[in-house]
Structure 1
Amino acid sequence: MAQGSKKAVLYAICVNAIITCLKFLAAAVTHSAAMMNEAVHSLMDTLNQLFLLLGLSRGGQPADTEYAFGHGQKKYLWNLWSAIGLFSVGCGLGLAHAWHAYHNLASVAVPESISVLGLSFSPLWVSAIVLLIAFLLEGYVLVMASREFLSRMRADGAQNLLHYLVAADDPTLLAVLLEDTIAVTGVLLAATGIGLSQLTGNPVWDIGFSVLIALMLGITAIFLGIVNMRFLTSIRDHEAERAFEQIVREHREIERFHDLRSIIVDDTHTVVVAEIELREEVLVADIRQRIIAHQQALLERVPEHRRTEAVREYAETRATIQATLEQTERVIDELEAQLKARCPQVFHLTVEVEGLAPPSRLDDPEGLSAS
């Protein structure tokens, strides 16, 4: 799962670094507020994706003496810092630049032509070429991220795209997908603002659309902050809990369960905790044979002349405990194996055996003896 996210992030970093340079150059020569905010937007995207890559690298480290369940949550922490820090800063810079551009309309002269290698170009053409390049490159990265995201969605059996966007368990891929979608939208907004300013001769259109681009960054910061905060709190894995409930109902040796809880450590690690009561008549069905076998094995280790009544009593008690523990461990191992088979993200199951449920066949001595 993380490998697909890393691939999407690397694509996005390379593309956004190129686009950022082009947009800043275009903004410098055309004095376009929308182009400048698009350049800031791309710069924030590039820095954000570097943070995401760092988060994937740090979060992929295995468990150690300090982090018992691995470093997975560091990914969400880096994502959170990136979303709230970089995008909120980008939003503030964009709004400040739009305000500055509006109050300096009279003093800023837009050049009629731009000379490059002896050739003259209209500022409109410079903006159009840069935005077209940005649209094609951003569109390519968006297609790559969308394919990965839809592949995950189909693998999880989800049907509702909007619901899956909010509930997706990989905020890194979600961040890349959202950023690329907004990047393509930002290019279209910038092109619209620049085009309307050129057609009407009123630069306020350019400034107005630059404000929309800045606000998009602010909305992105809020949304990604909410998504990553969800995984930095004690969120439950409802899928794993439902699977556990179903397995327990189907297990003939378990009567009931209590206090079922779970916590998502990261998108590939879930811890499940529960208490169970075992069904006595099923559990003890063949335990007598186990006790006798263990008792015999213990007594064989003692010479015949030393097999006193106390030794035999000790062997019987120890054999009873050992057989009971083996039966209990077998049930717990079966629970864990079945749960991990249905929910691969579960990497730890803690089951406390609360006791034996009251036998339902004590009032039926014939049925009890038959078992």
Structure 2
Amino acid sequence: MASGSKTVVYAALAGNSLIAVMKFVVASITGSSAMFSEGVHSVVDSGNQILLLFGMKRATRKADEKHPFGYGMELYFYTFVVAILIFAVGSGISIYEGIHSIGDPQPVQSPEWSYGVLILAMIFEGGAWWIAFREFQKTRGDQSVLSAVRNSKDPTVFTILFEDSAAMLGLMIAFIGILCSQIFNLPILDGIASICIGVVLALVAVLLAIEAKGLLIGEGASPEVVAGIRELVSTDKRITGLNEILTMHMGPQDILLAASVDFDDSLTADKVEQAITDFERVIKEKFPDVKRIFIEAQSWRQHHATAIAAGEMSSQRPPDGK
């Protein structure tokens, strides 16, 4: 697992743990629903970061007989659990607290405490957000933010980035809600702010769940990696056609590759074996994230006939056939 990902998680955990204590202390002093919701938010975020660290550790376990491809996808599972917790606990409690406050509105006591803690929280959260964003930028390249998130295979960085973005937005909502409730003497606005924080958390949870689901059910390598592998294999004179390339991420830096190759019929068995060995070495040198490679020697006619029988393609010759 990349050390940068762990740095992002540790930074977020340290900030959220400290902020959670301050928020709950001030919530007990002021009676603010928005501040209480923010305290719950920070506790949920801290728990999420512990889960991500646990998932990162579990994902590094070596393959065994029961899990021959390793445990890398456990990280994706814990990312999905994080999304559920944000939705069920963070969003649910915030919305419930907001509804309860609207039903029985109480003026915020000593709001200056809330303002002070919210400003400090913005500073801490802003620092954690910047660390996550800087790490995210390293892998983003020329992609848009949305495309980079969709194409990312390491959920830790964008999970923390989403959480910290929601935290910053939640802090601003809480600040505005408490301030407006004081200025207009409408305690109900504090409860409305709590509900708004819950809605923000729900939206973040849905986005994370969608991304985690895609990773859990198996996402292929990036188009650049697939194109590079295709070029390495198909330009070799020892083959007459590249029938199929299948890839799947078993973890952020663990790609499984399966390829069906039509070798020149004049090659002996020894030369075919040497060609496969050469392909594996070259592919792993250029794409170190490709950890497991399975190359099948099969004529394009046999491969195509099998695919047609399975209803996977039309009867015309595949474009890679020579």
Tell me the TM-score normalised to structure 2 length. Answer: 0.88
Structure 1 counterpart of 2:22: 22
1:39 shift after superposition: 0.9
In 1, are the aligned partners of 2:243 and 2:300 still within 8 Å (CA)? no
Q: What SS does the corresponding residue of 1:275 show, helix, strand or coil? A: strand
Deviation, structure 1 residue 352: 1.3
For residues 109 and 235 of structure 1, what CA distance do their matches in structure 2 show? 51
The reply to whether residue 271 of structure 1 matches residue 215 of structure 2 is: no
What amino acid sits opposite 2:253 in the alignment? T
CA contact (8 A) 2:33 2:194 kept: yes
Question: Alpha carbons of 1:343 and 1:16: their partners in 2 closer, same or farther (altered >3 Å)?
Answer: same
Name the aligned partner's letter for residue 182 of structure 2.
Q
Cα distance 1:356–1:16, how it changes in 2: closer, same or farther (>3 A)? closer
Aligned partner of 2:290: which letter?
Answer: V
Partner of 1:134: 121
Residue of structure 2 in register with 1:146 after alignment: 133
Check 1:261–1:356 CA distance in 2 against 1; reply closer, same or farther (3 A cut): closer
Q: Deviations along 1:95-153, whole A, 9 cap, x unmatched?
A: 11111111112xx4544xxxxxxxxxxx1210111001101100111111111111122
Q: CA RMSD in A?
A: 1.8
Taking the aligned partners of 1:219 and 1:52, their CA distance within structure 2 comes to 20
Residues 50-89 of structure 1 mapped to structure 2, 5 A cutoff = 50-89=50-89
Contact 2:159 2:208 in 1 (8 A): yes
CA distance in 2, matches of 1:273, 1:150: 31
**Hey, what's the Cα distance between the residues in 2 that align with 1:274 and 1:263?**
12
| Cα 1:356/1:259, change in 2 over 3 Å | closer
Q: Is the 8 A contact 2:246 2:258 kept in 1?
A: yes
Q: Distance in 1 between matches of 2:234 and 2:160?
A: 41
Q: What SS does the aligned partner of 1:252 have? A: coil
Identity %: 29
User: In the superposition, relative to structure 1, how do residues 137 and 238 fare at CA in structure 2: closer, same or farther (>3 Å)?
Assistant: closer
What whole-Å deviation, never above 9, does each CA across 1:57-111 have from its counterpart, x for those lacking one?
1111121232212111111111111211343221111111111111112xx4544
Conservation of the 8 A alpha-carbon contact between 2:257 and 2:293: yes
Cα shift at 1:176 = 0.7
- Whether the aligned pair in 1 keeps the contact of 2:220 and 2:246 (CA below 8 Å) is yes
Q: 1: CA distance between counterparts of 2:13 and 2:298? A: 53
Aligned to 1:183: 167
C-alpha deviation, 1:277, in angstroms = 1.3
Alignment partner, residue 258 of structure 1: 243
Aligned equivalents of 1:109, 1:260: Cα separation in 2: 64
Give the Cα–Cα distance (whole angstroms) in 2 for the partners of residues 250 and 181 of structure 1: 46
Task: Pick from 235, 247, 254 the counterpart of residue 219 of structure 2.
Answer: 235
Residue 194 in structure 1 maps to residue 178 in structure 2: yes
Q: Distance in 2 between matches of 1:85 and 1:16?
A: 16
Match for residue 245 of structure 1 among 215, 222, 230: 230
Aligned to 2:270: 326
TM-score when scaled to structure 1?
0.77
Number of equivalenced pairs: 300
Contact 2:44 2:85 in 1 (8 A): no
Q: Deviations over 1:281-307 (max 9, x none)?
A: 6x4xxxxxxxxxxxxxxxxxxxxxxxx
Q: Which moved more, 1:49-58 or 1:259-268?
A: 259-268
Equivalent residue, structure 2, for 1:92: 92
CA contact (8 A) 2:98 2:193 kept: no
Aligned-residue offset at 1:3: 1.6
Deviation at 1:356, TM superposition (A): 9.3
- 1:279-358 pair list within 5 angstroms: 279-280=264-265, 283=267, 324-355=268-299
Distance, in Å, in 2 between the alignment partners of 1:33 and 1:355 is: 68
Residue 160 of structure 1 corresponds to which residue in structure 2?
A: 144
Amino acid in structure 2 at the alignment position of 1:175: T
User: 1:241, 1:272 within 8 Å by CA — same for their partners in 2?
Assistant: no
Is the Cα contact below 8 Å between 2:153 and 2:249 reproduced in 1?
no
Q: Distance in 1 between matches of 2:167 and 2:160?
A: 10
Choose the corresponding residue for 1:223, options 189, 200, 207. Answer: 207
**Does the CA-based 8 Å contact 1:257-1:277 persist in structure 2?**
yes
Partner of 1:10: 10
Q: CA deviation at 1:280?
A: 3.9
3-state SS of the aligned residue for 2:245? strand
Change (3 A) 1:109 1:176: closer
Amino acid at match of 1:42: S
Between 235-244 and 247-256, the greater mean CA deviation after superposition:
235-244
